[in-house]
């Protein structure tokens, strides 16, 4: 029998999940991945697909017949399986809500039976329409109306948080909630609306970069390696149990500046093209002007602060695509 400590990662074939798998395998862990490949891909695990300490199970978390046994044998669980990307949410809000709610309940139920610690990845989307300059974990949340599909994702992720904390209070389940802000890096795809890989693919092909709205909306981007470091440290920090913690970068950049930086960094001939929101998305789409996390809690709990700049991420992704 394999004596290495076992870790369960749901959504482990996804963008962030695959980087986490590689990190934990490198730490001599045995890793079990459950992923239905709805947004993840076996290609993301290509480098480790034959690793003797990796077990890959294709399917939904809630449909895994061995889930209870796997949870009982795991020293910890990272729950990353979720609907991702604004395009996917707008196209199928029902699927997004079902995925986020049902699969989370399944993993929490399995983990609670043996009290295996769960790190649940939530989203900065739960902050909703708040116009604060910086988002803190203790802020009140302002969600838009149910008639606008984008808020269904925010509500489903917020319900995930409520569920996790309820399991903590009523069943003694050790849980940590990480609210992820914009995470970027190798293996991220633009097909679900992620802005950086979309910009990079267009710049490398010489196509115009489509900037939605006026481009003055700002975001803080976090390198995936930094995000994974934060997740691993949070999972190992006893004081983080029962806490909600922002995970993100603090370098604020406008979407217009990001597009220009991509073009300059790649030496692309691409032009910039402004596209009204009503043309890019369905009628009534609401974007947010800022998304800057307060990460003081993350630093206090883990001693770690994401620090990789967006220009470095662009160069690294470009090198991997062309190398």
Residues acting as catalytic residues: 153
From 50, 56, 59, 52, select the one nearest 8 (Cα to Cα).
56
Residues forming a β-bridge with 252: 220
Side-chain half-sphere of 16: how many Cα atoms within 13 Å? 29
Q: Compute the distance between CA of residue 146 and CA of residue 165 in angstroms, rounded to an integer.
A: 24
From 131, 196, 185, 130, select the one nearest 158 (Cα to Cα).
130
Q: Compute the distance between CA of residue 150 and CA of residue 222 in angstroms, rounded to an integer.
A: 22
Q: Compute the distance between CA of residue 229 and CA of residue 20 in angstroms, rounded to an integer.
A: 9
Q: Can you read off the two tokens belonging to residue 319? A: 């090198």
Contact 17, 33 (CB under 8 A): yes
DSSP state of 4: S
Q: Compute the distance between CA of residue 129 and CA of residue 142 in angstroms, rounded to an integer.
A: 5
Element holding 54 (H helix, E strand)? strand 54-58
Count of other CB atoms within 10 angstroms of residue 253:
17
């Amino acid at each position: 029998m394999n004596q290495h400590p076992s870790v369960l990662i749901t959504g482990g074939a996804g963008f962030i999940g695959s980087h986490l798998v590689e990190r934990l395998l490198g730490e001599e862990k045995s890793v079990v991945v459950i992923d239905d490949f709805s947004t993840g891909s076996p290609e993301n695990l290509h480098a480790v697909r034959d690793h003797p300490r990796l077990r890959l199970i294709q399917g939904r978390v809630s449909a895994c017949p061995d889930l209870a046994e796997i949870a009982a044998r795991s020293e910890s669980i990272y729950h990353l399986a979720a609907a991702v990307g604004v395009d996917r949410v707008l196209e199928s809000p029902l699927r997004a809500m079902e995925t986020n709610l049902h699969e989370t309940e399944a993993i929490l139920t399995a983990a609670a039976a043996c009290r295996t610690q769960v790190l649940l990845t939530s989203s900065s989307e739960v902050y909703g329409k708040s116009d604060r300059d910086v988002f803190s974990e203790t802020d009140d949340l302002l969600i838009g109306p149910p008639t606008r599909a984008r808020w269904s994702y925010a509500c489903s992720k917020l319900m995930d948080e409520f569920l996790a904390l309820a399991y903590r209070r009523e069943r003694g389940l050790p849980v940590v909630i990480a609210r992820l802000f914009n995470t970027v890096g190798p293996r991220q795809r633009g097909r679900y609306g992620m802005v950086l890989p979309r910009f990079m693919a267009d710049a490398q092909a010489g196509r115009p970069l489509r900037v939605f709205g006026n481009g003055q909306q700002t975001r803080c981007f976090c390198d995936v390696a930094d995000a994974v470091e934060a997740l691993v440290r949070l999972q190992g920090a006893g004081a983080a149990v029962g806490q909600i913690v922002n995970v993100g970068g603090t370098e604020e950049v406008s979407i217009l500046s990001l597009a220009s930086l991509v073009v300059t960094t790649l030496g692309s001939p691409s032009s910039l093209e402004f596209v009204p929101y009503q043309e890019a998305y369905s009628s009534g789409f609401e974007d947010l002007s800022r998304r800057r996390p307060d990460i003081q809690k993350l630093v206090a709990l883990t001693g770690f602060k994401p620090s990789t700049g967006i220009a470095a991420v662009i160069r690294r992704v470009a090198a991997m695509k062309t190398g």
